[in-house]
Chains A and B, each alone.
Chain A
Amino acid sequence: MTSPDSPGTRLDPWFDSYAARAHAMRASEIRALFSVANRPEVVSLAGGMPYIGGLPLEELAEMQRRLVMEQGEVALQYGSGQGDEGLREHITQVMALEGISAHPDDVVVTTGSQQALDLVTKIFIDPGDVIVAEAPSYVGALGVFRAHEADVVHVAMDENGLVPAALETTLARLASEGRRVKFLYTVPNFHNPGGVTLALERRPQVLEICRRYGVLVLEDNPYGLLGFDSEPLPALRSMSEEGVIYLGSFSKTFAPGYRVGWAVAPHAVREKLVLASESAILCPSNASQLAIRTYLEHADWQGQIKKFREQYRERRDAMISALEEHIPEASWNVPEGGFYVWLTLPEGLDAKSMLPRAVTARVAYVPGTAFYYDGSGAGHMRLSYCYPTPERIREGVRRLAGVIEAELETVRIFGSGAQGPGDSVDFPSPDLA
C-alpha cells in the first residue's frame, strides 16, 4: 500500500539538535485557553497583573520626558552590570521598611526578580540537585527550576505559612537519603499562590532549621509592602545576612513594565550573581532603572503603595464576599495582603479539567496544577483580585459559581474527573505570573 518516495518532515530542521530538556516542553491546551482570557468579555481572575490604572500616569509621562531630555545620554546607554548605583541606594531604603540593613554594594539589579531567580538557580543548581519549596509554590520559580533540571520537593504550608516541623522532617529525610538540598525557595509574605504569610515566630525557626542542615534560603518578596492592615514583618534577610539571598521587585509595588527587580546576597554569592548576570544580559536596562530612580526621588512612592493597598483591599473584600455568597461549598483563605486567594474546590472537582467550561462561561483562573512541580493540586485554583474592578470580580465569581455547579453535576454523573499527579505540567507564561 505504501510507496517509499516521500521524505518525512517534522517541520523543524533542528529537531535533533535540541537539548534533551527542550523535548520535555509541551504545548498545553491550558495555554490555548488563556489566549481567550485576554479578551475583554472574559473576567480574568488568572493573571497577577497589578492595577496600573491606579498609577499617576500623567505625572509618570512628564517624568519620562524629563528623564530623556535631561539624562538621555545615560538612560539610553549601556550601564553597570551590577545596576545603577543611585537606584541601588534607593533600593536599600525600600528594603529598610522590612528591617533589612544593606549597603548599595550588596544589591544586584536584575531584569525583574524573575531574572534574579534564574541567576541564583544557574549558579547553584546542577541537574538533579534538590530545591525545597512551599506546597504550592510560585509557577514562575518552578519553571526556572525545571529549566535547570532541579528536583523540587514541596513542604506543607498552613494558615501561618511554611510549617517548620514539616521543613525539618523533609530536610532530615532528604539528608538520610543522601540527597543534596541546595536551597529553600520561599515567598514569606502574601504567598503566591497561597495568599498566606509566614508568621513572625516561625521566621527564626525556619532560618535555624536551614542553618542546621546547611541549606541556603532564597527569600522571594514581591508583595511584602502590600499588607492591608499591618506593618510589614521583618524579612528573613533582616535576621540572617549570611544564610539568605533576598529577591525584591518593583513589579507589584510600582509597575512590571519596567522589568526591574534585585537580589541581595552574601558577598561571595553576589560576586557570582554579577558575573552570571553580565554574561546573560551585560547589564540591566538603564532606561528602566533611571525611570524608577526618578520615580523614587520625585514621586510619593510610599503614598502610592498606600493607595494600592487600599485598592487591593477593596478588591479582596469584593472577592471574599462574592465567594461567600456564590460558592459556599468551596473553601479559601482570606489574604491579608498581596494579590491572591487560594481556593479549594469541592471534593472530586478538577480545576484544570474544568477550565474549558470556565472559559466558555467567560471567566478564567489558574488551575492549582500550575503550582506543583509534579502537576498535582488539581483540586485547587488561584484567583487573583488585583486587576479587575470590584464589580468585575463579583461578576467573575458569579460566573465561576455556575461553572462549578455544572462541573459538579458532571462529576455526580461520572464520578471524579480529577487527574493524578504527573499527568501534565504547566509551563509558566505571563498569564500565570
Chain B
Amino acid sequence: MDVLILAGGLSHERDVSVRSGRRVAEELRDRGLKVEVRDVDTGLLPALREHADAVVWPLLHGASGEDGSLQALLELTGARYVGTRSKEARVAWVKPVAKAVYGGEDAATPDFVTLPQSLFREVGADQVLDAIVQRFGLPLVVKPARGGSALGVSLVRERDQLARAMVHCFAYGDNAMIETAVDGTEIAVSVIGTGDGARALAPVEIVCDGPYDYDARYNPGRVEYFTPARLDESATATVTDAALAVHRRLGLRDLSRVDMILDGQGRAQVLDINIAPGLTETSLLPQAAAGSGEDLGALYESIVRGVTAH
C-alpha cells in the first residue's frame, strides 16, 4: 500500500472527515496509487506497523486530528505523514495563540478576546459581556477557541443575543473567542508546500445568502463561490501574501487553508487557519485547485510524494 488515509475520529467534525477521506482516496486511486482509508481506533497502531512504508495522510478534522495529538502519535511510531508537525499544529490549533504568532501588518486579525467559562462565573457574566460590547461594539462573532466547520459559531447583532451565543459556544469547549465581526469580502486561500517553497492556490471568494454556517458549507446551493476571487491584482496579492505569511509564520507543512475577510480598507483580516482543510466535494481547497488550473489528483499525488522530502 502507498497511502494510508486516516479519517473519521471522534470529533464533532467526524462526518466531514469521513467525506474528505473518501474523496482524497478516490483521487489518489485514479492516479494508480494503492490507498486504504481507516478510522482512528485500536487497530491504528497495528495498521501503521503493517504498512510501515506507506505515507499516512491524517484527514481528521477538529480535536485530536488538528490539535497535534495524532501527529505526535505518528511521530512516535516513525510514520511518514502528510501535513503539519505536532509542535506547530498545537500552536495553530488554538486560535488566539495562532493569532499572536501570525498577526502582523500583512496578516491582520479582528480585535478579539478569549475567555474561559470559569472567568465569566467568577467575575459575573453580564459585566464581562457588557465590557466586551463596550470595547468592540456590535456585531460580534462568538466561536469556540478551538474547532472548525463553523460548529458553535454565532453571529451576534444584538446585545441580548450574546448570552445565548455563549451557551452555544461553551457546549463545544471551555474557551470562547469573541471577536469583532468584519464587513468585507469573504476569501479563502489554500496554500500548498512548505516554507519558502509554499505557494498559494487561486483565492476563493465566498458569497453567502446568510451566515457561512454549517448548512451553507455542506449543503450546496446557498453559497456562490468565485474562483479565482473577483479581485484585482493588488487585492489578490494582498490575500495570497497574507495566507503565505500565516502559513510560514506558523511553520505549517504541505497544505493549509487560511480564511479571511478583505475589509473595506483593503486589509486582509485573517479569521481562521486550517491545517487539515476539508477536502469534500464542496470544500474550498479542491475548488481552489480547479480554479488554478490544477488537476486535483495530480496535486494530491504531489503532496503524497513530497512527504519523502520532509
Pair B166/A353 contact, Cβ less than 8 Å: no
Q: Which of A27-35, A179-187, A199-207 contacts B (4 or more CB under 8 A)?
A: A27-35
**Interface stretch among B20-28, B218-226, B244-252?**
B218-226
Bitwise interface map of B from 49 to 81 toward A, beta carbon under 8 Å scored 1, else 0: 000000000000000000000000000000000
**Stretch in contact with the other chain, from A124-132, A309-317, A388-396, A409-417:** A409-417
Q: Once the chains bind, are B149 and A6 in contact (CB under 8 Å)? A: no
Are B227 and A6 touching (Cβ within 8 A)? yes
| B163→A414 contact, CB < 8 A | yes
Residue numbers of A with Cβ under 8 A of B are 1-12, 15, 18, 23, 25-29, 31-33, 35-36, 39, 41-42, 350, 353-357, 359-360, 362, 407, 409-417, 419
Question: Could you say which residues of chain A place their CB within 8 Å of the CB of B229?
Answer: 6
Q: What 5 A-B pairs come out closest when comparing CB atoms?
A: A417-B167, A35-B15, A27-B219, A12-B220, A8-B224
Q: Given A8-B226, A413-B125, verify A39-B171 contact (CB < 8 Å).
A: no
CB nearest neighbor in B for A23? B221
**Interface-central residue, A18, A28, A410, by most chain B CB under 10 Å:** A410
B10 touching A39, Cβ below 8 Å = yes
In whole angstroms, what is the CA distance A417 to B176 when docked?
Answer: 15
| Chain A nearest CB, measured from B282 CB (Å) | 5
* B171, B218, B287 interface centre (most CB from chain A within 10 Å): B171
Which residues in B have their C-beta under 8 angstroms from that of A2? 230-232, 235
Chain B residue nearest to A29 (CB atoms) is B214
Docked-complex contact A3 and B232, CB < 8 angstroms: yes
Q: List 17 A-B contacts (CB under 8 A).
A: A1-B232, A5-B230, A6-B227, A9-B226, A9-B227, A11-B287, A26-B219, A27-B214, A27-B215, A39-B8, A39-B14, A39-B39, A42-B10, A353-B171, A360-B12, A413-B121, A416-B164
Query: Are A32 and B168 closer than 8 Å at their CB atoms?
Result: no
* Given A11-B225, A11-B282, A356-B12, also A414-B152 (CB < 8 A): no
| Pairwise interchain contact A355-B163, C-beta atoms closer than 8 A | no
Given contacts A3-B231, A15-B220, A410-B171, 9 further A-B pairs with CB under 8 A are A2-B232, A6-B205, A6-B226, A11-B282, A29-B214, A31-B15, A35-B14, A357-B172, A415-B163
Residues of A within 8 A of B224 (CB): 8-10
Verify A6–B14 contact, CB threshold 8 A: no
- Say whether B171 contacts A10, CB under 8 Å: no
> Do A11 and B281 touch (CB < 8 A)?
yes
Q: A41 and B167 in contact (CB under 8 A), knowing A6-B228, A26-B215, A410-B117?
A: no
Closest Cβ–Cβ distance, residue B204 to chain A (whole Å) = 10
Query: Are A1 and B231 within 8 A (Cβ)?
Result: yes
Closest to A349 in B: B167
Write the nearest CB–CB distance from B9 to chain A, whole angstroms: 8
Q: Are B232 and A359 in contact (CB under 8 A)?
A: no
Q: Are B121 and A409 in contact (CB under 8 A)?
A: yes
Q: Is B170 positioned at the interface, with any CB of A under 8 Å from its CB?
A: yes
Q: Check A32 against B15 for contact (C-beta < 8 Å).
A: yes
Q: Are A9 and B167 CB-contacts (below 8 A) given A27-B219, A359-B12? A: no
Please give, as numbers and ranges, the residues of chain A lying within 8 Å of B10 by CB-CB distance.
36, 39, 41-42, 362
The residues of A that contact B166 with a CB separation of less than 8 Å are 410, 414, 417
Indicate if B302 sits at the interface (CB-CB under 8 A): no
A8 pairs with B225, CB closer than 8 A: yes
Minimum CB–CB distance from A42 to chain B (whole Å) comes to: 8
Bound Cα distance from A178 to B125, whole angstroms? 49
- A354→B230 contact, CB < 8 A: no
Q: CA–CA, A415 to B222, complex, Å? A: 33
Which chain B residues (1-34) contact chain A, with CB distance < 8 Å?
Answer: 8, 10-16, 18
In the complex, the chain B residue whose C-beta lies closest to that of A358 is B171
Distance, CA A31 to CA B16, complexed state (A): 11
B108 on the A face (CB < 8 A): no
**A-chain residues with CB within 8 Å of residue B231 when the two chains form the complex:** 1-3
Q: Name A37's closest neighbour in chain B (CB-CB).
A: B14
Q: In the complex, A46 Cα to B273 Cα: how many Å?
A: 33
Report if B151 contacts A (CB, 8 A).
Answer: yes
B126 to A: closest C-beta gap in Å? 9
| Contact A413 B120, CB 8 Å, known A15-B220, A355-B171 | yes
Chain B positions near chain A (C-beta within 8 angstroms)? 8, 10-16, 18, 39, 117, 120-121, 125, 149, 151-152, 163-164, 166-168, 170-172, 185, 205, 207, 214-215, 218-232, 235, 262, 266, 281-282, 287, 291
Q: Bound complex: CA of A288 vs CA of B51, how far in Å?
A: 42
Query: Is A3 touching B151 in the complex (CB atoms < 8 A)?
Result: no
Q: Which residues of B contact A419 (CB under 8 A)?
A: 164
A411 touches B230 (CB 8 A): no
- Contact residues in A for B228 (Cβ distance below 8 Å): 6
Residues of B within 8 A of A5 (CB): 230
Are A36's CB and B12's CB within 8 A? yes
Contacts of B170 in A (CB 8 A): 410
Q: Which residue of B lies closest to A26 (CB)?
A: B215
Q: Which of B120, B218, B221 lies at the interface centre, i.e. has the most chain A CB atoms within 10 A of its CB?
A: B221
Determine which of A11, A28, A36 lies in contact with B220 in the assembled complex, contact meaning CB atoms within 8 Å. A11
Taken together as a complex, chains A and B put the C-alpha atoms of A27 and B16 apart, in Å, by 12
Q: How far is the CA of A56 from the CA of B131 in the complex (A)?
A: 65
CB closest residue in chain A, given B266: A1
Alpha-carbon gap, A27 to B212, bound state (A) = 12
Q: Tell me which residues across on chain B come within 8 A of A412, comparing CB atoms.
A: 121
The answer to whether A354 and B221 touch across the interface, beta carbons within 8 angstroms, is: no
A432 to chain B, nearest CB (A): 15
A23 to B11, CA, bound (A): 29
CB distance from B230 to the nearest CB of A (A): 4
CB proximity of B18 to chain A, nearest CB, Å: 7
Q: How far is the CB of A139 from chain B (nearest CB, A)?
A: 18
Q: Find chain A residues with CB under 8 A from B226 CB.
A: 6-9
CB distance from B285 to the nearest CB of A (A): 13
Instruction: Contacts A2-B231, A12-B221 given; indicate if A356 touches B152 (C-beta within 8 A).
Output: yes
Task: Determine the chain A residues whose CB is within 8 A of the CB of B232 once the complex forms.
Answer: 1-3
Across-interface contacts of A35 in B (CB, < 8 A): 14-15, 18
- Cross-chain contact of B225 among A4, A9, A357, A407 (Cβ < 8 A): A9
Q: How far is the CB of A346 from chain B (nearest CB, A)?
A: 14
CB distance from B225 to the nearest CB of A (A): 5
| Contact yes or no, B220 A32, CB < 8 A | no
A419 (CB) vs chain B CBs: closest residue: B164
Residue of A nearest to B290 (CB): A9
